[in-house]
Amino acid sequence: MEGHAALPELEAVSWRRPVDERWLRLREAVSAAYTGVYCLPFVVLGIALVLLEPLLFPVSLVSFLHAWVIPELFAYRGARVVLPGSPSPHSRAESAAQGLLGDLLGHQERELQRTTGLAPERGTLGTWLVGEAGALMVRPGGRRIHTFCARVTEPGLPPSDRIAHLLLALREDERGFATVANHAFAGGAWRIRRRLPKRQRLALDRARQLPARAP
């Protein structure tokens, strides 16, 4: 079979550095530092205010609130890539798309996708959960997570077809998929988990237990 290993869509983002293990680790470190730089001043300010004048406690609370809200906003941005879209009517197109998507998945994966709306896929970089408008990638060990925003260029496709498009691209070239998609978040899996709807948490919990595929 005459195959092409690299995802063709990479040509459109030729300036991007290809995603690999080193890139992911660097992104995790930068993200942690970024959050620290934003939050630490508010924590220090809050403590300093109370030490200087205990009556300023309400003001220090506002400072602590800022330190709490900023990482929450980062996590919301990360979780949003797999939040369910507006409910689509049960159409014939969606049923047909669901059938094809089911053919692409194994039995357990198919059940999980139908229950949670997220299709699991074991990759070499981590375990992926593919949604309609992006994907989560749980790193080996299950503690760290990356989220990516991606879309199909054709509008009007049924939800399961959009998932199938992203799943196919991911299976063709995992690193290429991660490079083409827009990186949205890197950090602790618990930060994303608490922002997901209950049914999607189940998918994340399963993904955290699955080992990554051997390279």
Partner 1 sequence: MSRLVRLDRSGHTDLASWTAADQAAYEDAAKLFREQLAGGYMGVAKLEDDSCEQVKKLPLEADLVMLRRPIAGG
Which of 39, 149, 202, 210: binder of partner 1 (CB under 8 A)?
149
Shortest separation between residue 16's beta carbon and partner 1, angstroms = 9
Please say which residue, 12 or 69, places its beta carbon nearer to partner 1: 12
Shortest separation between residue 97's beta carbon and partner 1, angstroms = 4
Which of 49, 169, 192, 204: binder of partner 1 (CB under 8 A)?
169
3 state SS of 188? strand
For partner 1, the binding residues in 64-123 under the rule CB under 8 A are 81, 92-100, 103-104, 106
Which of 67, 82, 129, 181: binder of partner 1 (CB under 8 A)?
181
How many degrees, rounded to 5, is the angle at CA 141 between CA 167 and CA 147?
40
C-alpha dihedral, 70 to 73 to 75 to 79, nearest 10°: 180
How many degrees, rounded to 5, is the angle at CA 212 between CA 209 and CA 215?
165
* Cα distance between residue 113 and residue 79, in whole Å: 17
Please say which residue, 39 or 104, places its beta carbon nearer to partner 1: 104
3 state SS of 7? coil
3 state SS of 122? strand
C-alpha dihedral, 14 to 19 to 20 to 24, nearest 10°: 150
Is there binding between residue 178 and partner 1 (CB under 8 A)?
A: no
Is there binding between residue 150 and partner 1 (CB under 8 A)?
A: yes
Binding site for partner 1 (CB under 8 A): 1-5, 7-9, 12-13, 81, 92-100, 103-104, 106, 133-134, 149-154, 156-158, 160-161, 164-166, 168-169, 171-173, 177, 180-182
